[in-house]
Amino acid sequence: MENLETQIKNLVKGEVDTSEATREFYSHDASMFELKPDVVVFPNDSEDIQKVVRYVADNKKQNPHLSIVARSAGTCMSGGTVGESIILDVSKHMNKFLNGSKDEATAEPGMYYRDFEKATLEYDAIMPSYPASRDLCAIGGMVANNAGGEKSLEFGKTEKFVKVLRVIFADGKEYEVKPLNKAELDKKIAQNDYEGLIYKKVFDLVENNYDQIKAAKPHVSKDSMGYHLWNIWDRQTGIFDLTQAIVGSQGTLGLVTKITFRLVPAPKNSGTLVIFLRKTEDLGKLINKVLEHKPATFEGFDNYTLMLSFKLFPYFHKTLGWLGMAKLGIQLIPDALKLFRGIPKMVLLVEFNSPTAEETKQKVIQLRKDLQEFKHEALFENDETEAKAKKFWIMRRESFQLLRSKVKDKHTAPFMDDMIVPPAVLPEFLPEIREVINKYKLLATIAGHMGDGNFHIIPLMKIEDPKEKAKLEPAMKEITSIVLKYGGSLSGEHNDGMIRGPWLEAMHGPETFAHFKELKHIFDPENIFNPHKKTDANWEFSMAHLREHF
């Protein structure tokens, strides 16, 4: 390791750190896993990364242990940003906003989304596929995981907003990746060099297996499993888009150094109908009724998250400041009084956006009228402005971070944290999932994107306890079986990583899984990029690297 540190230091302008404290810090992300790196590198620029990639490529045969894991904010819940060799943290230096307009913006992957959005709001625009961790995550991780969130119901996921990427491939050179028409693709292939060969091999893969690959696309509104081969080549439009291979690849195909996003106009007028649901038996039916009104956003969280938010209310000052927290506390008093009628099982947030405040208000009122059949099961609150609804959106967005940091003795165990099924099957699906949770006596919070049928169920467990650890595999097998039975995906947003990668073949079948492996081999034949993730994931390896230190 000492020799590795010296050799990397001689290559790069950025810092290289092998201290025990740094290596321990980077051995974790927001997942259950623990892999301690040999070296942590803070690249100064793309040139630094290119040199590290070339070094690893040149020395991989002599030292098979060498690999590279890219990292920005480290908020990945599937173990996508931990590794045993070299970590490249781009958040320290490669975090700049480069240029923007009302239609698009370009930035480096280490830029936090919260800072990126501040910059795009100068153009009255946003990139809307941000996750609930919008204040914690960086845009490089959003591309790596194909992030989605509360606005994906209306706008779709990150894959729909990536226009151009700069990517370092396994030869250690940086390339521009963007959609090409057939003539441009043919020209690229005719280069007959390293880049051209990748384009040729990927085109042959998706063209020769066209019908089977198109049929393999999951029938859900969001998906972050595997590689989205079905989005790369479209015979009808004649567009070949290699960004669709890179988005969601968790840094297993190459390393992104620059991102250009398409933007949309920032919402002008937002209003929310808050539904305090006393019973969950008819949740699926209620969700389908709400979807008839085509809301911009439809989110929710359970009673445990609600009470945790009240209990840990003082910690919101980090998000709001003390004055904002005081205003929020006053707003919460009427809602606290509602709790005397019984703590709701879930709080649902249905948001509408419109050109005018009055139009937004009428949409909220109309939905409330149409939900009168549920009046014995729910209490309603009209929050017709964004300011009034803010208290609940903060609870929804901050819930996971609160769980991670403030619940004593137990730890978040994200292994059933991102399932998605078609909303129409929710009345049958949700009770079966609850049965598994109860069967294994899991203390689990439920939050998620109700309108997409995408649920984040995050048990609180003592993972280091052998009895608790023994629950993981059988519980996950049962959850996986239920999700696949209803035509769903194991991940709507959080990706495969080390937790769902071992189940990729079970979800997609051997033929599609073989295509995934071929794509990985085309880009990364020596497996230098992010091993033990996606097609290279192994359940025994993952379970052997569960966190032991919290």
* HSE value, Cβ hemisphere, 13 Å, CA-based, for 414: 31
Match 């239609």 to its residue by tokens.
103
Query: Nearest-CA neighbor of 177 among 245, 129, 121, 122?
Result: 245
Reading the block at residue 360, the tokens are 């937004």
Percent share of the chain, pLDDT over 90: 72
For 224-241, write each residue's pLDDT tens digit: 999 999 999 999 999 999
* Cα–Cα distance measured from residue 137 to residue 111, given in angstroms and rounded to the nearest whole number: 9
Alpha helices, DSSP H, located in 60-138: 113-121
pLDDT reported for residue 7: 96
Query: Nearest-CA neighbor of 463 among 418, 409, 411, 502?
Result: 411
Q: What is the mean pLDDT of residues 379-383?
A: 82
Match 């940086």 to its residue by tokens.
174
Q: What is the mean pLDDT of residues 480-501?
A: 96
* Cα–Cα distance measured from residue 379 to residue 337, given in angstroms and rounded to the nearest whole number: 12
For 86-138, write each residue's pLDDT tens digit: 999 999 999 999 999 999 999 999 999 999 999 999 999 999 999 988 899 99
Paired residues of 233 in beta bridges: 240
Q: Measured on CA atoms in the order 438, 31, 250, 59, is the torsion positive or negative? A: negative
* Cα–Cα distance measured from residue 131 to residue 110, given in angstroms and rounded to the nearest whole number: 16
Banded model confidence at residue 392, pLDDT cuts 50, 70, 90: confident
Task: Provide the 8-state DSSP code for 172.
Answer: S
* Cα–Cα distance measured from residue 384 to residue 387, given in angstroms and rounded to the nearest whole number: 9
Query: Nearest-CA neighbor of 184 among 233, 143, 227, 228?
Result: 233
Reading the block at residue 457, the tokens are 């169920």
* Cα–Cα distance measured from residue 408 to residue 427, given in angstroms and rounded to the nearest whole number: 34
Please check the confidence at residue 343 and state whether its pLDDT lies above 80.
Answer: no
Reading the block at residue 13, the tokens are 């302008």
* Cα–Cα distance measured from residue 292 to residue 289, given in angstroms and rounded to the nearest whole number: 5
86-89 sheet: strands from edge to edge: 15-17, 39-42, 86-89, 68-71
Please check the confidence at residue 59 and state whether its pLDDT lies above 90.
Answer: yes
For 510-530, write each residue's pLDDT tens digit: 999 999 999 999 999 999 999
pLDDT reported for residue 382: 84
Please check the confidence at residue 148 and state whether its pLDDT lies above 60.
Answer: yes
Q: What is the mean pLDDT of residues 352-359?
A: 92
- Phi, psi for 102 (deg, rounded to 5): -70, -15
Weakest-pLDDT range from 20-24, 257-261, 345-349:
345-349
Please check the confidence at residue 338 and state whether its pLDDT lies above 70.
Answer: no
- The domain spans of the chain are 2-92+523-544, 97-265, 268-405
Paired residues of 446 in beta bridges: 457
For 67-93, write each residue's pLDDT tens digit: 999 999 999 999 999 999 999 999 999
pLDDT reported for residue 430: 84
Residues with Cβ < 8 Å from 176, sequence gap 6 or more? 164, 165, 166
pLDDT reported for residue 242: 98
Please check the confidence at residue 401 and state whether its pLDDT lies above 70.
Answer: no
Task: Provide the 8-state DSSP code for 109.
Answer: T
Q: In a 3-state reduction of DSSP, which class is residue 255?
A: strand
pLDDT reported for residue 545: 96
More confident residue, 512 or 464: 512
Banded model confidence at residue 139, pLDDT cuts 50, 70, 90: very high
Reading the block at residue 61, the tokens are 């045969």
Cβ atoms of 169 and 57 closer than 8 Å = no
pLDDT reported for residue 424: 84
Q: In a 3-state reduction of DSSP, which class is residue 7?
A: helix
For 276-288, the DSSP string reads: EES--TTHHHHHH
Banded model confidence at residue 543, pLDDT cuts 50, 70, 90: very high
What angle separates helix 472-485 from helix 426-439, to the nearest 10 degrees? 170
pLDDT reported for residue 333: 47
Residues with Cβ < 8 Å from 25, sequence gap 6 or more? none
Please check the confidence at residue 42 and state whether its pLDDT lies above 70.
Answer: yes
pLDDT reported for residue 235: 98
Cα 149 to the chain's mean position, in Å?
A: 8
For 153-192, write each residue's pLDDT tens digit: 999 999 999 999 999 999 999 999 999 999 999 999 999 9
Q: What is the mean pLDDT of residues 407-427?
A: 85
CATH assignment of 97-265, among 3.30.420.40, 3.30.465.10, 3.40.50.300, 3.90.199.10:
3.30.465.10
For 358-399, the DSSP string reads: HHHHHHHHHHHHHTGGGTTTEEEEEE-SHHHHHHHHHHHHHH
Cβ atoms of 244 and 519 closer than 8 Å = no
Give the fold, CATH level 3, of 268-405.
Answer: Alpha-Beta Plaits (3.30.70)
Task: Provide the 8-state DSSP code for 266.
Answer: P
Q: In a 3-state reduction of DSSP, which class is residue 444?
A: strand
Q: What is the mean pLDDT of residues 425-434?
A: 87
* Cα–Cα distance measured from residue 25 to residue 85, given in angstroms and rounded to the nearest whole number: 14
Percent share of the chain, pLDDT over 70: 89
Residues with Cβ < 8 Å from 1, sequence gap 6 or more? 18, 38, 39
pLDDT reported for residue 460: 85
Please check the confidence at residue 315 and state whether its pLDDT lies above 80.
Answer: no
This model's pTM is above 0.85: yes
More confident residue, 381 or 366: 366
Cβ atoms of 550 and 36 closer than 8 Å = no
pLDDT reported for residue 375: 85
CATH C-level class of 2-92+523-544:
alpha beta
pLDDT reported for residue 1: 60
Please check the confidence at residue 322 and state whether its pLDDT lies above 80.
Answer: no
**Buried b or exposed e, range 372-385, using 16+ CB within 10 angstroms:** eebeebbbbbbbbb
* Cα–Cα distance measured from residue 151 to residue 173, given in angstroms and rounded to the nearest whole number: 35
